Amino acid sequence: MTPRTLGEGPGGPGLPLLAASAGYARWWSNFWQIWWTRAAGERAVAAARRERCAALLRHARAHSPFYRELYRGQPADLAAAESLPVATKRALMARFDDWVTDQAIRRRGVDAFLADRTHIGERYLGRYIVWKSSGSTGEPGIYLQDDAALAVYDALVAVQLAAPDLAAGCAAGLFHGGRAALIAATGDHFASVASWERVCRSAPGLAAREFSVMEPLDLLVAELNAFAPAYLASYPTMLTLLAEERAAGRLRVAPALVWSGGEFLAEPARRDLERTFGCPVLNEYGTSECMSIAFGCSAGWLHVNADWVLLEPVDADYRPTAPGATSHTVLLTNLANRIQPVIRYDLGDAVVANPEPCRCGNSLPAIRVEGRRDDVITMAAAGGRSVRLLPLALTTIVEEAADVHRFQIVHTGGAKLLLRFETADARRRQEVFADAEQALRGYLARQGVAGARIALDAHPPATDLRSGKLRQVVVEPGHSRR
Ligand SMILES: [Zn+2]
């Protein structure tokens, strides 16, 4: 789905927060390796990246038929990725069985595994954590991770949390009972939930609970009040709603640390969240393709985990974009995942690289992400109330009910929603609409919205004029938008 991890699907915020308690053997060694590499400075980080990149390229060429073919004609010794052909999600997913480097992994088997939701958090073939997402391009993707990759993601986040202000929040959270709440799109194989379940299963003593973004807000607030989490993780749109509830006195939680991921979080909004919750707010940029790409700093930038990630801002022709300029997209190389190599992968996010050394003093490359920004829809509900509907909840409902990925929900005012689907087949459009409409009606009724008018629009989804990208939930100009 959406940039749920600032570029990603209901991947959303993962829960590496408590990974330390999961007791992975590789964890400490990764943690200290990252720590010492970064302490040694930019050159050490670049050297680690180059070495890992060369090893990944050798591995991909040797074990992935897709990459072997893609790099045919390239020099035998691939040292750097920057000159290699770009890989798109569509091309990779079309040849899934050739993409993966373990030939025991077959698309048919993965699909069967994903179709059974009781497997959430379990391992495919006993080895691989699997999650799915359609990301900012609206195309479905399936991602497998092994223990080595997961241990790197966990360690990357742990290093972030070791920064003095966040470490204080972590410690305070433990002092306040250590309960952790994840509010996300639950109930399917999404990155956030899969990570959460993984951590919970491996550390059964954890006081961790997941809450669904589909729940009516007043119910969610009551449940959070009862649970009293010391750590709170969710999407920025949800956190903003919760901050309003807290300011109004209805939400009485006092977290020691708030985790934001899965969607674009502007710096002023992050500061507002910090003020309202009275604790540090960690902004994470990750996707289903790489759980931890970059993390927010006090100066409002995101610092790329450049020892484990290669991130290239590029224009529409995949040429490098100058620092300070907004890129058309960004190419991701994830140096941690050997099973399903992500190399010069078109992620679809527009980013700006900081042309100056960051004010916060961190020498890792700094970026800002111009994530796709879906609108929150406000509708009238019973009793004269108004309810806010999260884009993530709406898109998840439509995707799940109608099995579509390229669509658009347009709020045209009052109780009116228009649905647009990208299919030229009128009959198929009707079928998809019928499924989506029924599911949306059920959701709106649970939120207290009565008499919603949902119509099918024969037009295909309109892409954003400025970015050329698809926004799935749009409030038409002139209507309430927040
Ligand atoms: Zn910074």
pLDDT of residue 481: 43
DSSP per residue over 160-193, as a string? Answer: HHTSHHHHHHHHHHHHTT--EEEEE--SS--HHH
Is 350 found in the same domain as 381?
A: no
pLDDT value, residue 18: 47
First vs last C-alpha separation in the chain? 20
Q: Are residues 142 and 291 in the same domain?
A: yes
Q: What is the largest CA-CA distance in the chain?
A: 70
Side by side, the strands of the sheet bearing 231-234 are: 208-212, 180-184, 231-234, 257-260, 281-287, 290-296, 302-304, 366-370, 350-353
Domain end, chosen from 356, 372, 388, is at 372
Q: Assess if residue 481 is contained within a domain.
A: no
More confident: 53 or 267: 53
Characterize the bridge pairing of strands 141-145 and 208-212. Answer: unpaired
Co-location of 424 and 465 in the same domain: yes
CATH of residue 7:
3.40.50.12780
Rg (alpha carbons) of the chain, rounded to whole number: 22
Pair (261, 352) in one structural domain:
yes
Cα(226)–Cα(248) distance, integer angstroms? 17
Q: How far apart are CA 400 and CA 263, in angstroms?
A: 20
pLDDT value at 4 more than 70: no
Domain end, chosen from 353, 372, 391, is at 372
The count of domains in the chain is 2
133 pLDDT band (50/70/90 cuts)? confident
Note the Cα 381 to chain centre separation in Å: 30
Residues near ligand 1 ion, CB 5 Å cutoff: 297, 299, 301, 358, 360, 362
User: 159 CA distance to ligand 1 centroid (A)?
Assistant: 15
Task: Tell how far the Cα of 359 is from the centroid of ligand 1, in angstroms.
Answer: 6
- Assess whether 246 and 393 both reside in one domain: no
Q: Does 482 fall in a domain? A: no
Phi-psi category of residue 294: left, alpha or beta, with phi > 0 → left and psi -120 to 50 → alpha: beta
Mean pLDDT (whole number) for 37-59: 95
Distance 363 CA to ligand 1 centre (A): 8
Domain that holds residue 388: 377-475
Find the mean pLDDT for residues 212-217.
Answer: 89
Q: Tell me the Ramachandran region of residue 413: left when phi exceeds 0, alpha when psi lies from -120 to 50, beta otherwise.
A: left
Q: How far is the CA of 101 from the centre of ligand 1 (A)?
A: 36
- Please give the average per-residue pLDDT across 327-331, as a whole number: 93
Tell me the per-residue pLDDT of 449-472, one tens digit each, with 9 for 90 and over.
Answer: 988 999 999 888 888 766 667 788
Q: Across all residues in the chain, what is the average pLDDT?
A: 85
Tens-digit pLDDT profile for residues 391-443? 888 988 888 888 888 899 999 988 899 999 988 788 989 999 999 999 999 99
Q: Cβ distance 89 to 141 under 8 Å?
A: yes
Residue 482: the pLDDT is 43
Q: How far is the CA of 220 from the centre of ligand 1 (A)?
A: 34
377, 394 contact by CB (below 8 A)? yes
In a domain, 420, yes or no: yes
Which parts of 262-301 are beta strand (E)? 281-287, 290-296
- Establish if 480 belongs to a structural domain: no
pLDDT category of residue 39 using cuts at 50, 70 and 90: very high
Ligand 1 centre distance from Cα of residue 90 (Å): 34
Domain match, 249 and 386 both: no
Range of lowest pLDDT (188-202, 211-225, 323-337, 373-387)? 188-202
The Cα 287–Cα 425 span in angstroms is 32
Measure Cα distances from 217 to 322, 344, 354, 374, 448 in Å.
Answer: 43, 40, 37, 19, 11
pLDDT band at residue 332 using 50, 70 and 90 as cut-offs = very high
> Span 246-250, mean pLDDT?
94
Taking each helix axis from N to C terminus, what angle separates 236-247 and 391-402, rounded to the nearest 10 degrees? 130
Ligand 1 centroid – CA 166 distance (Å):
14
Going from the Cα of 352 to the center of ligand 1, the distance in angstroms, rounded, reads 14
CATH number of the domain to which 416 belongs = 3.30.300
Asked, for residue 462, whether it belongs to a domain, the answer is yes
CA of 132 to the centre of ligand 1 (A): 31
* Helices marked H in 318-425: 391-402
Task: Among 372, 388, 414, give the residue marking a domain's end.
Answer: 372
